[in-house]
Structure 1
Amino acid sequence: MTGTVETFEFQSESRQLLQLVVHSIYSEKDIFLRELVSNASDALDKLRLESLRDSGLDADTSDLHISLETDTAERTLTVRDNGIGMTRDDVVELIGTIAKSGTAEFARKLKEANDAKDAAVSTDLIGSFGVGFYSSFMVADRVTLVTRRAGEKEGTRWESEGEGTYRLQPVEDAPQGTAVTLHLKPVDEEDNLHDYTAEHTLRSIVRRHSDFIPWPIRTEVEREEDGTPTRAVETLNSMKALWGRSPEEISEEEYTEFYRHVSHDWSDPLRTIHTRAEGTFEYQALLFLPSRAPVDLHQQDARRGVNLYVRRVFIMDDCTTLLPDYLRFVKGVVDAQDLSLNVSREALQQDRQIQLMHRRLVKKILASIKSLRTEDPERYATFWREFGRALKEGLLSDADNRATILEVSSFASTHDAEAPTSLRDYKERMKEGQEHIYYVTGASRARLESSPHLEAFLAKGYEVLLLTDPVDEVWVEQVGEFDGTPLQSVAKGQVDLESAEQDAEEGEEAAQRKEEFGPLLEWLGTRLGEEVKEVRLSSRLTTSPACIVGDEFDVTPTLEKMYRAMGQPLPPVKRILELNPDHALVTALRSAHAASAEDAALGDTAELLYGMALLAEGGDLADPARFSRLLAERLAAGL
């Protein structure tokens, strides 16, 4: 039996908000079902807790579940639960007024998102401030709610077309819990309205958004047995939140299957990170290091981020605020127990709990990579080959974890042609009296190994790191040292590889050479003044006649090119030409200059010497045609 129907008007502010919710969300209309199922799950949780608290509660808790009931002919979808239910006052307070507080602020945010045509933000805002129920009107012309609170005798019926009024009516024979019936709009693919009475549609939405809800979500399906149509009740969700179980209970096969589900990658994960945080703020995380990098790992518009759940309710699948960009290759799920639902991504970045999770997850992942290096060097080598370049970006963006990132990083080096080295291992191999970790940057290992900058270092047995990733050009300048030992480029500044005793012994010889070569150096400085800022003798060359180096704080040519490619050209940087005083070409040039400083051929030789040094380091000639012509003339003259 039912009682008298009463009609009420929404508050003017609530009516405006309702119109924004209904008409301002252009995508992800499927999300309405997530909201209704989430509400039903909460109602079941509350009934379970209430029954434990009050043993005398007149309520049936024998088969708590959620049902999805469809009527194709009438085009209705009902989401039913047998949870705690609501009294008439609850309905008026929680449903009739839409949002008890914060309505104006929510309306402002939703309108801003709509004005900006940011459908993703709009979708995230659904459900904020207690209005998730009203996302139903995105897909329904009319919504009917029938509810009875556990332990109460009378139920309540609420109904509205979402225009400006709603109707309330007492119901005497209402079952325990809440049933929300949506009178669906016509199917419209252009408007992204699916057939929500179709089994496959409901199954797909539940699997995506509510698969890990701890209560069974059931629906009646039609099957055929021996040619005879039959109907049976099936559970649509797995209810298996793998991250909520103890690691000891989970097999490698289960982990692998779940990884493939969340990553859409059919290879096995390289490492599984299963962690739980307890205390004032609780969350669970099941994360994976993939075994291969996706093709779009270094593309700006690539999808990244992990799946975010709150109490097993799916919130978003690319939550970029939980992990920094340099860990964008990590896949998996984070499930928080106490987090504001469905706020915008901008707000998430400012949320204290999100920041706390961010810090803890980063430390856990880096610790796992560090242990991987120790426990399984082969798997670590795979990880570094696939993701090392991305991880090193953290040396620039994450100062708090910079030391740890340096510890887990590997670098090619002159020590071993095959296996990269850690900075810790490099330090253990440093020569007695060595004060720097030496490195050189460039486009490829092959080019760096033939660089004249390495000659003296290799001759004297010093190990040099060979850094070939674009990010290396930047982080070495910002980091500066490892565990108290400075990093030093072999292509910058002055180089002194001699001991104090050797310096004293060779000091007189060096002074004599400086005097002998002084006129040539001065002349070359003037002749090449447009290209270089100084010409000096070198202590880093053993076989090449010359090389070009930068001052200690100069921008490298590669970094200069990178800035130019990004549309940020830097002022031209003049560099230093260093000569090998023991090379036959340099000594011959000194003799020729001493004999006749006005010889025109000397100028051509100076240009060729500078061009050869530029090419040796992989630089670009300003006038390749002129260099080729001068070289051809000099070769012809020598034949």
Structure 2
Amino acid sequence: LGTIARSGTAAFVQQLSGDKAKDLSLIGQFGVGFYSAFMVADKVEVLTRRAGEAQGWRWVSEGRGEYLIAPAAVERRGTRVVLHLRPEDREYLEPARLREVVRRYSDHIALPIVLVEPNKPKTEREQTLNAASALWMRPKAEISEQQYKEFYRHAAHTFDDPWATFHWRAEGKIEYTALLFVPSTRPFDIFHPDRKHRVKLYVRRVFITDSCEEVVPAWLRFLRGIVDSEDLPLNISREMLQKNPLLAKIRQGVTRRVLGELQKKAEADPADFMKFWDNFGAVLKEGLYEDAEHRDAILTLARFRSTAGEAPTTLAEYVARMRPGQEAIYTLSGDDVKALAKSPHLEGFAARGVEVLLLTDPVDEFWIPAVGSYEGKPFKSVTRGAADLEKIVPPDGKAAATEDAAPAAGIDSLVALFRLTLKDAVKDVRTSQRLTDSPVCLVADEGDIDIHLERLLKQHRQIEATAKRVLEINPRHPLIAGLARRVSEKGSGEEVGEAAWLLLDQARIVEGDPVPDAGAFSRRLAEVMRRAYAA
């Protein structure tokens, strides 16, 4: 005790050698706990008597590097530590506060911790505060499914059952035990920026923290449970956690194991895996952006909705279905799968049998540029740049029949007139390969950011101004063909100019963008209807 009081636990441990080394763990834990007493006490007494000896001893220190030790009358063998609390820390004399501290930090220590309240009736005087057992230290074969569920509910403070349970012990250069759960329901705050991690870090059954970003990465924050290390020091601080190489290796091991277990679940029961993916897929995909080391494993797990049907697809399955001549993985981003499936941007791709991934998670806009490609196939948005569909072989010639029809005479003149009329409202006007049924659509130019990403950034005030879009017109659509013939036969006119503005506003509405001048749009629409229907 004197050595610890003068020089600290670390210096004392360094002096151990030979047979004394076996007491390293016990002495280290005692030293940390002993020193923590001075955080709330201005004086600490230790009264102790060894079994088989009549003489007891009293040790006293005020935590200033000095101590007093003297013989004392001690009635019972054993050791009693008495803390003389400072006035501002008297809260630790309250039974409720003691219960809270013990259950939070020492619930799983193997020995029972008993609270004695002398003023209570004899039958209620003593209460064991901790569970005095660590479920995760027991072999898996000895733990029932119900026990796992009860521990999950206790640790996660929830009432649902876990979707998956991962329990293993890592041995070798680094030893730790992990008992982790994947919830069956998504927490309401899973995407909240201030949400804390819910995997608890223990060191030899002693609780350290319940919000340690160094144990699991942020993109696995849906996990619940514990990681218990045999190698980390008990007195590890927040700063030490952030820089500790042992913890970094534990994090790497936990991450790889969890991804491997998820892959096993995906292969064993794809339908059940989709329950997990619908709840936490968007969180897991954050790892594609943040963690290049585990990117391939996450890409293998990823599931996507697509234009191929209701069933989700993997990237490997998508690549296997690519059309002859198709060189890219095509994507379309938005807020809702059903709305995306009706987008005019898909028409040309559907006509050639090209599958398009429908992405509805905001994180998709960030990981795709970071990943770039999959198996050598670049990701390409159908709303940005040229469609480049000429090389793709259509099924049964369906697309060819549509595209072989000659554009209407005067289409080049119509494009020139639209450019002149719309001027700075658009970046350019050009004919479209991607449209088959709709007259117009808006796309981002090749060098600009994707339309949906731009919208997200503007909503979160990350950007102020938006890039001008390119207006694509379908030269084979009856309306566009009629306008082209009109220009060819009669030249430019006010009616064609009004039609250009109406078509631009129509494309904006389809994209979900507001019409900048609703009054002008209404007047133009009313005038068109008057000419068509008025007597």
Instruction: Report the CA distance between 1:467 and its aligned residue.
Output: 0.6
Deviations 1:516-545 (A, max 9, x none): 422222222232231222221111111100
SS in 1 for 2:423: coil
Instruction: Report the CA distance between 1:411 and its aligned residue.
Output: 1.2
Contact 2:6–2:65 (CA under 8 A) maintained in structure 1: no
1:235-250 residue pairs with structure 2 within 5 A?
A: 235-250=128-143
Instruction: Report the CA distance between 1:296 and its aligned residue.
Output: 0.9
Residues 1:299 and 2:188 are matched in the alignment: no
Paired residue for 1:94?
4
Paired residue for 2:255?
362
Distance 1:149 1:366 in 2: 52
Deviations 1:553-596 (A, max 9, x none): 42123222322333321653222211111111111111222234
Aligned counterpart for 1:611 among listed residues 505, 518, 528? 505
Residues 1:404 and 2:297 are matched in the alignment: yes
SS in 1 for 2:501: helix
Distance 1:223 1:142 in 2: 25
Contact 2:186–2:279 (CA under 8 A) maintained in structure 1: yes
Deviations 1:403-429 (A, max 9, x none): 111111111111223x32221222233
Aligned counterpart for 1:352 among listed residues 238, 245, 254? 245
Q: Is 460-469 or 336-345 further displaced after alignment?
A: 336-345
Residues 1:629 and 2:523 are matched in the alignment: yes
Paired residue for 1:486?
378
Distance 1:244 1:168, change over 3 A: same
Aligned counterpart for 2:343 among listed residues 451, 464, 487? 451
1:494-573 residue pairs with structure 2 within 5 A?
A: 494-499=386-391, 513=407, 516-569=410-463, 571-573=465-467
1:311-330 residue pairs with structure 2 within 5 A?
A: 311-330=204-223
Distance 1:192 1:150, change over 3 A: closer
Contact 1:154–1:174 (CA under 8 A) maintained in structure 2: no
Residues 1:272 and 2:272 are matched in the alignment: no
Distance 2:192 2:172 in 1: 38
Instruction: Report the CA distance between 1:453 and its aligned residue.
Output: 0.3
Paired residue for 1:140?
41
Paired residue for 2:154?
261
Q: Which has the higher contact order (CA 8 A, sep 6+)?
A: 1
Distance 2:53 2:62 in 1: 28
Distance 2:453 2:412 in 1: 33
Deviations 1:466-496 (A, max 9, x none): 1111111222222222222222211122223
Identical-pair percentage: 43
Distance 1:501 1:445, change over 3 A: closer
Deviations 1:369-403 (A, max 9, x none): 21111222333121111111111111111111111
Q: Tell me the TM-score normalized by structure 2.
A: 0.87
Q: Which amino acid aligns with 1:567?
A: R
Aligned counterpart for 2:321 among listed residues 429, 439, 447? 429
1:62-461 residue pairs with structure 2 within 5 A?
A: 91-98=1-8, 132-147=33-48, 156-162=57-63, 166-171=67-72, 178-184=79-85, 193-196=91-94, 198=95, 201-218=97-114, 220=116, 229-230=122-123, 235-417=128-310, 419-461=311-353
Paired residue for 2:22?
none
Q: Which amino acid aligns with 2:262?
A: I
Distance 1:622 1:342, change over 3 A: farther
SS in 2 for 1:626: helix
RMSD: 3.3
Unpaired stretches in structure 1, ≥5 consecutive residues: 1-90, 103-126
Contact 2:326–2:392 (CA under 8 A) maintained in structure 1: no
Distance 1:499 1:141 in 2: 82
Distance 1:540 1:369, change over 3 A: same
Paired residue for 2:16?
none
Instruction: Report the CA distance between 1:277 and its aligned residue.
Output: 1.0
Distance 2:366 2:388 in 1: 25
Distance 1:591 1:239, change over 3 A: same
In the alignment of these two chains, the number of paired residues is 514
Distance 1:137 1:204 in 2: 20
Contact 1:128–1:343 (CA under 8 A) maintained in structure 2: no
Distance 2:204 2:102 in 1: 15
Distance 1:416 1:333 in 2: 40
Residues 1:577 and 2:471 are matched in the alignment: yes
Q: Which amino acid aligns with 2:442?
A: I
Deviations 1:117-140 (A, max 9, x none): xxxxxxxxxx99966523324443
Deviations 1:170-216 (A, max 9, x none): 45868765431123456x7xx671434x3x55444322211221233
Distance 1:237 1:587, change over 3 A: same
Unpaired stretches in structure 2, ≥5 consecutive residues: 13-27
Distance 2:156 2:137 in 1: 19
Contact 2:202–2:227 (CA under 8 A) maintained in structure 1: yes
Instruction: Report the CA distance between 1:234 and its aligned residue.
Output: 5.8
Distance 1:439 1:142, change over 3 A: same
Distance 2:391 2:450 in 1: 28
